[in-house]
Amino acid sequence: MTHKLHRALSVWGATAFVVTNMVGTGIFTVPAFVRASTGNGLAALGVWIAGAFLALCGALCYAELATRMPEAGGEYYYLTRIYGRLWGFLSGWISFFVGFSAAIAAAALGAVGYAATLFPQWDTSKPLFSSLGITQGSAAAALLIIVLSLFHSSGVRPSGRLQTAIAMLVVGAILLFVFVGVSSGRGDWNRVVQGTQATGLWWVALLQVNFAYSGWNAAAYLAGETIDPRRTLPRALIGGTVIVGILYLLLNLLFLYALPLTDWAPKIAVGNLASERLFGPQGALFVSGIITLMIIGSVSSMTAAGPRVYYAMARDSLAPAIFGHVSRRRRAPIYALIVQGTISSILALSGAFDDLLTYAGSALLLFAGLAVASVYWVRRDSPASTSHFRIPGYPVTPAVFVALVGVAWIEGLRESPRATGAALATIALGVVIFFVGRAQGWIPDTPSPAPSSSPSSTTEN
């Protein structure tokens, strides 16, 4: 028997998925790269504000799409229904290898890196299996992914409760961090306007900021499991994005206040550097613990959201049918969770973190842009009714998002051709696989009929 997903996720749980998916490795790694690209604190803040505006435009557009099509899968579902199966497949292909599996692995490695500062005797680079090149740190990251994958197999209700608890701790910790940091008096507000030689890679900086903001669409992936999706999804998407945008600006101001110009060379541990300047070694240890929790929350959110895409693909015969299996008792896509957890764990064991920011940011931004552009086709075929969320400022709002995505991609190819070109190559490989699959019969021309989630179910059976 084929079981359906279960609508049990409240507005608080859905908003928590957005907040925890967004607040993770990016905000503690990207600011140094952006500061180096722009050469000025105010200019760097401008890029972060532009990223927040871009994310909010996207969230507003996704809110309408999600209320029109309240099913699991996010942009995969929208692109399949509006542009066709090829574009849906490519979106799912990118989600599997870049948007979730690689991002989960990178975030897990970041969590272990910050956690290691709490245990001075722990050498994360020490080989665990030297013949395989596996270190203690990469093994710990893989274990974290496995544990969270198993937890989220218990169903969306406990997943929502976990994310809500983490989100409350994350928001409270950031506000406390900013308040105490500024109150310490150990920084200098003049540093906000001080400048250095810029690399000039402004649009690459925006792509990297997009990586930090990625996750604003998290609630859309779980649309098939939200209670009253036409009310819940707009509140979660927009509310979560606004909350994180404010938190990011506060953190960037704090980093600029705390760190002198000599500390702004591109490096991953900008959060640790700022906390050491403001609080000393002991305070930095406490902040590292908080940062570790934030990144774990991001890993957890992505671990739960990704399998909903593969579930939707399997129901459309664009992924192995086993991904569409939902456990009878917990109503979770258990095999999709297991496979994603396995792939992410393997990637984490490699310990790599190279051009992931630009590579992942550009690939995710492209498909988000395509999904937002689909609003025009949806409106043409079916005008918005009072039961749908309607985008404020339409048709300008989606046009702004699409235009910024286009410019960012063109400039990204010019300024950082290796990472952005790798994203294009990944998409091209997906095109080849799709048509080979069609020719070999792996991918049928039309999807097999399959049940979707019940729009009114609020209790487990």
3-state DSSP call for residue 155?
coil
Among 84-98, 122-136, 275-289, 355-369, top mean pLDDT goes to: 84-98
Q: Which structure tokens are listed for 196? A: 């250095």
Q: What value does the mean pLDDT take over residues 17-39? A: 82
pLDDT tens-digit map of 186-211: 888 888 877 666 556 666 777 778 77
Is residue 253 predicted with pLDDT exceeding 80? yes
pLDDT score, position 458:
39
pLDDT score, position 131:
64
More confident residue, 455 or 430: 430
More confident residue, 454 or 286: 286
CA distance 430 to 91: 9
pLDDT score, position 453:
45
CA distance 326 to 461: 13
Is residue 15 predicted with pLDDT exceeding 50? yes
Is residue 240 predicted with pLDDT exceeding 60? yes
More confident residue, 353 or 380: 380
Share of the chain above pLDDT 70, in %: 88
Q: Give the position of tokens 């699959």.
A: 437
| Paired strand residues for 195 | 40
Q: Which structure tokens are listed for 323? A: 């991904």
Share of the chain above pLDDT 90, in %: 28
pLDDT score, position 99:
76
Of the candidate ranges 271-280, 418-427, 452-461, the one whose mean pLDDT is the lowest? 452-461
pLDDT score, position 16:
94
Is residue 351 predicted with pLDDT exceeding 60? no
pLDDT tens-digit map of 173-186: 899 989 999 998 88
pLDDT score, position 447:
59
Q: Give the position of tokens 């395989």.
A: 132
Amino acid identity of residue 3, one-letter, is H
Q: How many CA atoms lie within 13 Å of 285's alpha carbon, on the beta-carbon side?
A: 6
Identify the band that residue 269 occupies on the pLDDT scale cut at 50, 70 and 90. Answer: low
Q: What value does the mean pLDDT take over residues 31-50? A: 85
Pick 11-440's CATH classification: 1.20.1740.10, 3.40.50.1980, 3.20.20.70, 3.30.70.920: 1.20.1740.10
Q: CA 32: distance to chain centroid?
A: 19
More confident residue, 128 or 400: 400
Among 130-134, 207-211, 317-321, top mean pLDDT goes to: 317-321
Identify the band that residue 70 occupies on the pLDDT scale cut at 50, 70 and 90. Answer: confident
pLDDT score, position 457:
40
Of the candidate ranges 23-27, 58-62, 153-157, the one whose mean pLDDT is the lowest? 23-27
pLDDT score, position 249:
94
Q: Which structure tokens are listed for 266? A: 């591109």
